[in-house]
């Protein structure tokens, strides 16, 4: 039997995948503001061998740095529901962190509207529910204040933070992403039918517990919430523990048989 390499590699502009042909479930991950698909590269070794990892790559970052980021959520979601078709067969779950959680939720809604199967479970990390209020808006802040706020959230390597040229490029993408999601208002709709798991850091100012728990209203199915030590980028330290939870809950929701 051929041993498959468990490495996250680009397959299409929007899809990076660590192929596991014998897998029974696929975890599709949506990155946070400013981040690319490789934000989930370490998860490949943390997932069980019967689960395949896919990470979404958006324009304006990493190997797509020369492309303009999307400025409206609707066109982005429309593009993704088409671009992700190769990995939406069989049993799959969605995971999104921060802005990626909002994107995972909107793609799930779009799949339902198109009459297509959605995720077996939706994992939403460090993101308040769409109707939450009181979260500070960052996209209109002056440059220096925006820079300070972004650094204060964490998640940026010190080497990158000290490189003025790289930071200028990153801040441009970050502001575009914050603008995209802070201006967006989700269309009122009936609750989803898939279970939702909300995850957050215990000290995250952008995802207070009441706003995280509010996701309960957005599903008719099971809902649970889990909190970990840390702030907005808690998952950088809680990776193994959190991925283990995701794997267990995904396995419970997965359909039998191989993915296609």
Burial tier of 160 (Cβ tally within 10 Å: 0-12, 13-18, 19+): exposed
Instruction: Please give the Cα distance from 212 to 4 (Å, whole number).
Output: 38
Element of type H or E holding 123: strand 122-125
Specify the 3-state DSSP secondary structure of 227. strand
Residues 40, 44, 48, 54: what is their CA dihedral angle, to the nearest 10 degrees?
A: 60
Q: Give the single-character DSSP code of 91.
A: S
Q: State the burial class of residue 68 (Cβ atoms within 10 Å of its Cβ: 0-12, 13-18, 19+).
A: exposed
- Per the annotation, the verdict on 169 as an active-site residue is no
Catalytic residue of the set 23, 24, 91, 98:
98
Helix (H, G, I), strand (E, B) or coil at 234: helix
Report the catalytic residues. Answer: 98
């Amino acid at each position: 039997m051929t041993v498959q390499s468990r490495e996250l590699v680009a397959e299409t502009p929007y899809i990076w995948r660590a192929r596991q042909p014998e897998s029974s479930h696929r975890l599709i991950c949506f990155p946070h503001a400013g981040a690319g698909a490789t934000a989930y590269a370490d998860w490949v070794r943390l997932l069980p061998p019967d689960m395949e990892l896919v990470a979404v790559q958006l324009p304006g970052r990493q190997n797509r740095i020369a492309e303009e980021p999307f400025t409206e959520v609707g066109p982005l979601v429309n593009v993704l529901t088409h671009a992700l078709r190769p990995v939406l067969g069989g049993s799959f779950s969605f995971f999104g962190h921060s802005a990626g959680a909002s994107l995972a939720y909107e793609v799930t809604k779009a799949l339902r509207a198109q009459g297509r199967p959605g995720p077996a479970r939706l994992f939403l990390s460090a993101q308040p529910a769409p109707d939450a209020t009181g979260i500070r808006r960052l996209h209109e802040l002056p440059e220096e204040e925006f820079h300070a706020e972004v650094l204060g959230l964490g998640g940026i390597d010190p080497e990158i933070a000290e490189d003025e040229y790289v930071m200028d490029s990153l801040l441009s993408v970050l502001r575009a992403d914050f603008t995209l999601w802070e201006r967006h208002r989700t269309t009122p709709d009936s609750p989803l039918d898939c279970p939702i798991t909300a995850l957050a850091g215990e000290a995250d100012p952008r995802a207070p517990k009441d706003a995280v728990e509010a996701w309960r209203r957005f599903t008719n199915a099971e809902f649970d919430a889990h909190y970990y030590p840390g702030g907005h980028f808690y998952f950088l330290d809680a990776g193994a523990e959190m991925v283990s939870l995701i794997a267990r809950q995904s396995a419970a929701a997965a359909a039998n048989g191989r993915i296609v």
